[in-house]
């Protein structure tokens, strides 16, 4: 948790901005501005966006170098600059900065302090690195890995193992829940005529639930990361997921019923019980896969962490409870 808090502090716009940028006055002419830029001697991408600021340091507008170059010599900067610009504050999240650069095809993004005074700029190349790092972190969290700063090629075997063992141990411990659940239903499994069918279909049921949950959670986590799913869309998305899970659950249940009766030679009652379990498991797994990342965002936990590794275990336990509950009800 401490690591998460430190991460949040580190991942601010202020941490990736550069204090190098070109700041000019609004009453300058285009040719004067070009001379001023050339005289600045600045040799970085920050040069491609000129920031027009007032005497108090407050940002009035931004001017793309390409607009300045295309303008006639005598045009004043205040007539060329874009006053409807995007800016981030120093303590805004890096992902906010990345989203703005991506959405509006920016080359550089201004960073201001609380009072709106210009303090730095973030170049698009920094944003490319932020995007890849954030995506890598999501990939790793969703695969139950402790995120690593190091590239794979330079990581030692010990480092690799130490980033894998914590979650493997936690998840192994939590799937012992499944063992206890099965043990407590052992009498049912041995006594019921359906015992054999239940045991042999357990992996199929748990896998299908896990796959359905991983599908919906991945889509929701990705949509959040790309800014395609704002908090106020949550209700609509949950409704969509419920309907989608109904279609998938019914479809998979039906196919499983036909498979068990026609191919595996089970009775219709056996096939119906297992297929209903498949259908309910898919609905529960799919809905949880959508709900957990949304809850995580509300609680300010990384959605990738909550939905990836934990979801599988929760879905496993729930799918077994559905199966045992159904067979108990029928028997």
Is there a contact between 220 and 293 (Cβ–Cβ < 8 Å)? yes
**The dihedral sign for the CA sequence 318, 292, 139, 164:** negative
Distance CA(139)–CA(219), nearest Å, equals: 13
Minimum distance from residue 56 beta carbon to its own copies (Å): 28
Minimum distance from residue 124 beta carbon to its own copies (Å): 5
Q: Which of 58, 118, 49, 61 is nearest to 88 (CA)?
A: 118
Minimum distance from residue 131 beta carbon to its own copies (Å): 6
- Residue with tokens 């019980």, as numbered in its chain: 273
**Identity of the residue, 89 or 240, whose beta carbon is nearer to its own copies in the bound complex:** 240
**Identity of the residue, 76 or 164, whose beta carbon is nearer to its own copies in the bound complex:** 164
**Identity of the residue, 81 or 206, whose beta carbon is nearer to its own copies in the bound complex:** 206
Residue 261 exposure: Cα atoms within 13 Å on the Cβ side: 12
Residue 309 to residues 28, 226, 248, Cα–Cα distance (Å): 57, 21, 22
Minimum distance from residue 80 beta carbon to its own copies (Å): 12
Residue 130 to residues 15, 133, 137, 170, Cα–Cα distance (Å): 11, 5, 10, 29
**Identity of the residue, 116 or 272, whose beta carbon is nearer to its own copies in the bound complex:** 272
Task: Please spell the DSSP secondary structure of 128-146, one letter per residue.
Answer: HHHHHHHHHHHHHHHTT--
**Identity of the residue, 61 or 309, whose beta carbon is nearer to its own copies in the bound complex:** 309
| Helix or strand holding residue 283 (H, E) | helix 268-298
Minimum distance from residue 81 beta carbon to its own copies (Å): 15
**Identity of the residue, 19 or 54, whose beta carbon is nearer to its own copies in the bound complex:** 19
Is there a contact between 77 and 30 (Cβ–Cβ < 8 Å)? yes
Minimum distance from residue 139 beta carbon to its own copies (Å): 5
């Amino acid at each position: 948790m401490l690591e998460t808090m430190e991460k949040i502090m580190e991942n601010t716009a202020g941490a990736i901005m550069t204090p190098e940028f070109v700041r000019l006055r609004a009453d300058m002419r285009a040719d004067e501005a070009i001379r001023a830029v050339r005289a600045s001697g600045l040799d970085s991408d920050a040069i491609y966006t000129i920031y027009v600021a007032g005497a108090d340091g407050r940002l009035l507008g931004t001017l793309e170098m390409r607009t300045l170059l295309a303008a006639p010599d005598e045009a004043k900067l205040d007539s060329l600059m874009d006053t409807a610009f995007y800016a981030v504050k120093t303590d805004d999240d890096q992902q906010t900065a990345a989203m703005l650069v991506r959405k509006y095809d920016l080359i550089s993004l201004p960073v201001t302090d609380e009072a709106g005074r210009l303090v730095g700029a973030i170049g698009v190349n920094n944003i490319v690195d932020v995007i890849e790092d954030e995506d890598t972190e999501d990939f790793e969290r969703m695969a139950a890995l402790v995120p690593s700063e190091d590239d794979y090629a330079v990581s030692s075997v010990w480092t690799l193992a130490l980033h894998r063992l914590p979650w493997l141990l936690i998840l192994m411990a939590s799937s012992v829940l499944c063992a206890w659940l099965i043990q407590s239903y052992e009498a049912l499994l041995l006594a019921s005529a359906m015992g054999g069918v239940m045991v042999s279909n357990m992996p199929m049921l748990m896998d299908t639930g896990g796959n359905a949950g991983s599908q919906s959670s991945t889509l929701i986590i990705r949509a959040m990361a790309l800014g395609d799913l704002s908090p106020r869309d949550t209700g609509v998305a949950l409704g969509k997921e419920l309907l989608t899970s109904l279609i998938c659950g019914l479809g998979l249940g039906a196919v499983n019923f036909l498979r068990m009766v026609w191919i595996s030679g089970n009775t219709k009652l056996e096939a119906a019980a297992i297929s209903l379990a498949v259908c309910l498991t898919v609905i529960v797994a799919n809905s949880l896969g959508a709900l957990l990342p949304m809850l995580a965002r509300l609680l300010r936990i990384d959605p990738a962490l909550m939905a990836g590794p934990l979801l599988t275990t929760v879905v496993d336990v729930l799918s077994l409870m559905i199966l045992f509950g159904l067979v108990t009800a029928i028997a």
